[in-house]
Chain A
Amino acid sequence: MSEIAQESSVGLVTPELMSFTTPLTLSCGRELSQYDLMIETYGTLNPSRSNAVLICHALSGDHHAAGYHSPDDRKPGWWDTSIGPGKAIDTNRFFVVCLNNLGGCAGSTGPTSINPNTGKVWGPDFPVVTVDDWVESQARLADHLGIEQWAAVVGGSLGGMQVLEWSIRYPERLRNAVVIASAPKLSAQNIAFNEVARQAIMSDPDFCNGRYLEADTLPAAGLGLARMVGHITYLSDDAMKEKFGREMRDTHFNFDFGIEFQVESYLRYQGESFSKRFDANTYLLMTRALDYYDPASRFDNNLVKALSHTTARFFVVSFTTDWRFSPERSEEIVNALHMARKEVSYLKIDAPQGHDAFLMDIPRYTEALGAWMSHIANECEPGSAEQ
């Protein structure tokens, strides 16, 4: 943790475990009798409890969105570029809440937790959770924290889907919705990538039908491969060209199948390090939640109808080189919103980084998000003319 980083950082943060004992019925029909959610909060909740912002994480994210857990941490939380004092989501003004979603593997109840009915690790028996289930559990978290209405719910990618669901399911519980690099449902191509990732995991002999923890092993190769495929889709062709080109490790070909190109080395490293920190069953669950989400399906496949009861003011952002969640997909959301006559602003940010751009500090993106959030912060202040 460098000193420079500290100035605009929330600094050292400590996660908190919240336990819930009211049973939660899930979309699949099964019930979780009790569950825990690991959360982190930054900033202070104001007396009128009007300045709370919920951050929803994407596929491999967790509750650690900003700051550091220890002074030795090399990297801050996953969205430290935008969350902190004086940053776009200003922790001097907002009370920011981020959680590890149900089914996750960073402390919230999920496949690596103990199933209270059996006393054994859940593993593959953990119910398949959906975006809807997550929003339900987040609503209970809000109740628990005494937050009746979020000033804003914010998320990118799969996180953006949770934001959409919040606006549809609980229109009265959020004033603003920030949907970044997301889509109203996955395309066939997108589901296909998820299926390749799942097959990579499930075909690893060490997967043991999902009971690898009981067998004291890990499907590291399969999970690593899944991450490699995912990673390729998060980068743009240009970003890869810029980063690696055809750069080689050696000066000559070795005429074998070891690592010849730098891009191979990078992907293998990404795969390996991911498989050490992430749970394979959680990866299966998260990709499934992505596949299933389609709010329009509950409204005659009409997204305009799905969004017609929303009351939040929307801010939608896409990135030009993002082909996993392309600008066209964000524009489907924007079009449905303006057709439903909802308040919406939309930015298409010219950025070379592909889908990953949503986590980066791209000046135009950060500045616009900051300007938009700043109005919300003003509205949270008592006696504000904007309210």
Chain B
Amino acid sequence: MRRDFKVISQWITPDSHILDLACGDGELLQQLQRNKNIKGYGLEINEANILKCIKRRVNVIEQDIDEGLHNFADKSFDTVVMTSALQALRNPDKVLDEMLRVGKECIVTFPNFGHWRCRLYLSLRGRMPVSEFMPYSWYDTPNIHFCTFKDFEALCHNKKLDIVNRLVTDQQHHRNTLGQIIPNLFGEVAIYHLRPKLR
């Protein structure tokens, strides 16, 4: 299993009701169905991915999450998950609000633009970072809202969100020591487990 999925799986309550935003080919939901006996749905707009979900017998609903989750009721899911899609959203902050409206908690993963390689690339070459991990040019990238871990945590603070868990990995989703010590410089991918702060 993909390392990030393994981490997410550990944070998911067995038999719970899950919504997976931008669920891709449905691998995570399939794993969670098998290992955690969860029920739920994936939302996706990529046609090829939707077909893969159907082939996996994963419930998939064709819906653009940038248009909101207005058709889902408050607190109707135990956990709302979104992996590697935050940076591609038009309104990531609003989607985060929506996730915590329809779910009791959420799990989000995204790449760290504050990683030392990005910083080095920009400072030495004076160009927007392009790498194997982020292979797009600035004009054709689907990733329109990059942020660093610090940026994201500032947003969580503004929204009064509790960070229940946080895990930093590299792009192969392995943990490394430096990434644990100075995550914003050495972590490449972050997995955040969030809840609204109890008042």
Contacts and interface: CB of A to CB of B under 8 A. Distances in A.
Contact of A339 (B39, B57, B60, B76): B76
Contacts of A341: 17, 39
A335 B57 CA distance: 19
B120 interface: no
A343 interface: yes
Interface stretch (B6-14, B48-56, B122-130, B137-145): B48-56
B72 A348 contact: no
Given A343-B59, A345-B60, A386-B57, A368 B71 contact: no
Contacts of A338: 41, 61, 72
A364 interface: yes
B50 A344 contact: no
Nearest to A318: B62
Contacts of B39: 341, 343
B97 interface: no
A347 B59 contact: no
Nearest to B70: A335
Interface in A329-387: 331, 334-335, 338-339, 341, 343-348, 364, 367-368, 371-372, 375, 386
Contacts of B57: 375, 386
Contacts of A344: 41, 59, 61
Contacts, number: 40
A347 B50 contact: yes
Contacts of B47: 364
Interface residues of B, number: 19
A341 B50 CA distance: 20
Given A334-B61, A335-B71, A364-B47, A345 B53 contact: yes
A338 B42 CA distance: 11
B73 interface: yes
Contacts of B50: 347, 368
Contacts of A331: 71
A334 B60 CA distance: 11
B76 A346 contact: no
A339 B17 CA distance: 11
Interface string B33-44: 000000101000
Nearest to A367: B51
Contacts of B41: 338, 344
A345 B76 contact: no
Contacts of A335: 71
Contacts of A347: 50, 62
Interface in B58-87: 59-63, 71-73, 76
B147 to A, nearest CB: 30
A331 B62 CA distance: 10
A45 B99 CA distance: 46
Interface in A137-174: none
B21 to A, nearest CB: 14
Contacts of B51: 364, 367-368, 371
Nearest to A332: B71
A287 to B, nearest CB: 30
Interface of B: 17, 39, 41, 47, 50-51, 53-55, 57, 59-63, 71-73, 76
21 contacts: A331-B71, A334-B61, A338-B61, A338-B72, A339-B72, A339-B73, A341-B17, A341-B39, A343-B39, A343-B59, A344-B61, A345-B54, A345-B59, A345-B60, A345-B61, A346-B61, A346-B62, A348-B62, A364-B51, A368-B51, A372-B54
